[in-house]
Amino acid sequence: MSYQHIRLPQHGEKVSIKDGKLAVPDHPILGFVEGDGIGADITSASLRVWDAAVARAYGGARKVHWCELYMGEKAAGIYQGDYFPAETLAALKDLVVSIKGPLTTPVGGGFRSLNVSLRQEMDLYACVRPVRYFPGVPSPLRRPEEVDVVIFRENTEDVYAGIEYPSGSEDNQKLARFLREELHAEFFEDAGLGVKPVSSFASKRLIRKAIEYAIERGRASVTLVHKGNIMKFTEGAFRNWGYEVATEEFREHVVTEDELWDEHGGQMPDGKVLIKDRIADIMFQLLLLRPAEFDVIATSNLNGDYLSDAAAAEVGGIGIAPGANIADHIAVFEATHGTAPKYANQNKVNPSSLLFSGVMMLDYIGWREASELINDAFVAALADKTVTYDFARLMPNATTVSTSGFADALVDKINAGG
């Protein structure tokens, strides 16, 4: 494939998909999008740390060959005002695995959210957010070390379907008339109307991914989070489809919570994954009070939106929470915070959200030795209280360093062996 502005690196090979599995060469070409605002600062810092960890782990036998792709303001400068060029979309698909910084989204007008466009155009149906505690990170919890969950949030329907009709519009009136006259629905005059589609197809592929992840990683449970007591045919159906996928496709690997008590006397058999479900409102409370009971979580779009930010806040907030949007194989890893424009180009902010998204990416391509080195270096930097401003304001006697200074500290730790 030839590109107009994208330059593929001279060395390295593309990641591919063989027999339904990701095939990663030892010298893969991976894509990165710098992002807007603080994107340039956190990307250059993170690239140095990822490269140092890979070099240390594999001594040159493995190396990432980075290919810069353009979205957002940088793209607009290069592609005559186009914020999401077609060749970027093509390259994200072609390279299979990429990572991106944050992108600006104007509120109430302007262009459509680039992040939402990206997820839709590439059908990145699972938003995956691991939330775990690292010793030394400031946390409001008494036992933050009990938080270790991976949230799989459905990324294509529910509120993300965006089917809404404003109060007073012609379409709204048409729909209101149909609902009242044909379906005998009752609601106040002038209500804005929205449709919440939740399908078996989209629910099942998301839940399937969560269960596969739990089995592969030896995780203890998958919790289906829903509001099915009220929204029976959308949220409740999500729950029911979840149990269907679990028992029809993964029978040998799973035990449902009912089976746990009816057939196993409450004793979880070895090597199986427990499938349970919780109603969304109580889930927020449980995740705060008894986080140790949760492991992998699969949930619909809006629940997952709230839950992933709330969970992140328990262990350091959005400055550190990583994320990814994943289709069957194609994956775009991303910082979960925004562009923080007031800090742009000040070399000040915490690069950890993007950094840990890269750690997820290294895990995803199977390079766990490198990702572990970054985890260890991070814990060691925190033990030294060498942190960026956001953590420093929560930690007594910390040394505040810049974005690049934090990367330097991590690279030193990696090169020193942890």
* Range list of β-strands (E), 75-211: 97-100, 126-132, 148-154, 163-165, 193-195
Residue of 32, 35, 38 lying closest to 50 (CA atoms): 32
Asked if residue 337 binds ligand NAP (CB under 6 A), the reply is: yes
Q: Report residue 270 as tokens.
A: 């070895």
Alpha helices in 250-351 (DSSP H): 257-264, 280-289, 301-314
Residues 6+ apart with CB under 8 A from 359: 322, 371, 374, 375
Binding-residue total with ligand NAP (CB under 6 A): 18
Q: Which of 70, 83, 160, 243 is catalytic?
A: 160
Q: Report residue 242 as tokens.
A: 């979840």
Segment near ligand NAP (CB under 6 A); pick from 99-107, 169-177, 241-249, 365-373: 99-107
25 vs 338, which CB is nearer to ligand NAP?
338
Active site includes 165?
Answer: no
Asked if residue 349 binds ligand NAP (CB under 6 A), the reply is: yes
What is the amino acid identity at position 334? Answer: E
Q: Which of 51, 82, 123, 305 is catalytic?
A: 305
Phi, psi (5° rounding) for residue 230? -105, -50
Active site includes 160?
Answer: yes
Segment near ligand NAP (CB under 6 A); pick from 148-156, 166-174, 195-203, 330-338: 330-338
Asked if residue 358 binds ligand NAP (CB under 6 A), the reply is: no
3-class state of residue 57 by DSSP? helix
Q: Which residue has the tokens 């070390």?
A: 145
Helix H or strand E encompassing 161: none
Asked if residue 94 binds ligand NAP (CB under 6 A), the reply is: no
Q: Which of 12, 28, 102, 242 lies at the binding interface for ligand NAP (CB under 6 A)?
A: 102
Please give the DSSP secondary-structure letter assigned to residue 112: P
Residue of 50, 37, 118, 91 lying closest to 348 (CA atoms): 37
* Range list of β-strands (E), 50-125: 65-69, 97-100
104 vs 300, which CB is nearer to ligand NAP?
104
Task: Kindly state the smallest distance separating residue 269's Cβ from ligand NAP, in Å.
Answer: 40
Asked if residue 334 binds ligand NAP (CB under 6 A), the reply is: yes
Task: Kindly state the smallest distance separating residue 389's Cβ from ligand NAP, in Å.
Answer: 7
Q: CA-to-CA distance for 360 and 334, rounded, in angstroms?
A: 10
Q: CA-to-CA distance for 322 and 101, rounded, in angstroms?
A: 11
Task: Kindly state the smallest distance separating residue 310's Cβ from ligand NAP, in Å.
Answer: 15
Segment near ligand NAP (CB under 6 A); pick from 63-71, 101-109, 132-140, 257-265: 101-109
Q: Which of 43, 46, 98, 104 lies at the binding interface for ligand NAP (CB under 6 A)?
A: 104
Q: Which of 339, 347, 357, 371 lies at the binding interface for ligand NAP (CB under 6 A)?
A: 339
Task: Kindly state the smallest distance separating residue 344's Cβ from ligand NAP, in Å.
Answer: 10
Segment near ligand NAP (CB under 6 A); pick from 148-156, 199-207, 232-240, 349-357: 349-357
> From residue 294 to residue 323, what is the string marking binding to ligand NAP with x (rule CB under 6 A)?
------------------------xx----
* Range list of β-strands (E), 269-358: 273-279, 296-299, 322-326, 331-335
Residues 366-405 contacting ligand NAP, CB under 6 A: 390
Asked if residue 41 binds ligand NAP (CB under 6 A), the reply is: no
Asked if residue 350 binds ligand NAP (CB under 6 A), the reply is: yes
Q: CA-to-CA distance for 259 and 267, rounded, in angstroms?
A: 10
Task: Kindly state the smallest distance separating residue 38's Cβ from ligand NAP, in Å.
Answer: 6
| Torsion angle (degrees, nearest 10) of CA 306, 309, 313, 314 | 70
Quick check: 70 and 61 in contact, CB under 8 A? no
Task: Kindly state the smallest distance separating residue 46's Cβ from ligand NAP, in Å.
Answer: 11
Asked if residue 347 binds ligand NAP (CB under 6 A), the reply is: no
Asked if residue 325 binds ligand NAP (CB under 6 A), the reply is: no
Quick check: 379 and 136 in contact, CB under 8 A? yes
Helix H or strand E encompassing 43: helix 39-58
Site residues (vs ligand NAP, CB under 6 A): 38, 102-105, 115, 318-319, 334, 337-341, 349-350, 353, 390
The residues annotated as belonging to the active site are: 160, 227, 281, 305
